[in-house]
C-alpha cells in the first residue's frame, strides 16, 4: 500500500482532532480532505485485494 497516503491520512486525522470545535469552516474543510484520502486508500486496498485474488486463482 501507499505509505505516503497513510501518513497523510494520519496527519490530517491528528490536525482534525486538534481543531477548535467552534471553527466549523476549518473542521468541514479538513474533514472533506480526510474523507477523500480515505476513499482513495480504500480503492487502493480493494484493487490490491482483487489483484491478489486473481493471482491466487480465487476469482469467481
Please give the backbone phi and psi of residue 31, each rounded to the nearest 5 degrees, phi first. -65, -40
Residue 10 in domain: yes
Residue 60 in domain: no
pTM of the model: 0.77
Domain holding 7, by residue range, is 3-55
The total number of structural domains that make up the chain: 1
**How many Å apart are CA 59 and CA 4, to the nearest integer?**
29
Residue 20 in domain: yes
**How many Å apart are CA 39 and CA 24, to the nearest integer?**
22
pLDDT in tens, 1-60: 689 999 999 999 999 999 999 999 999 999 999 999 999 999 999 999 988 888 767 655
Amino acid at each position: 500500500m501507499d505509505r505516503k497516503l497513510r501518513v497523510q491520512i494520519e496527519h490530517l486525522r491528528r490536525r482534525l482532532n486538534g481543531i477548535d470545535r467552534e471553527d466549523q469552516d476549518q473542521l468541514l474543510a479538513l474533514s472533506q480532505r480526510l474523507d477523500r484520502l480515505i476513499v482513495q486508500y480504500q480503492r487502493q486496498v480493494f484493487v490490491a485485494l482483487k489483484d491478489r485474488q486473481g493471482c491466487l486463482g480465487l476469482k469467481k
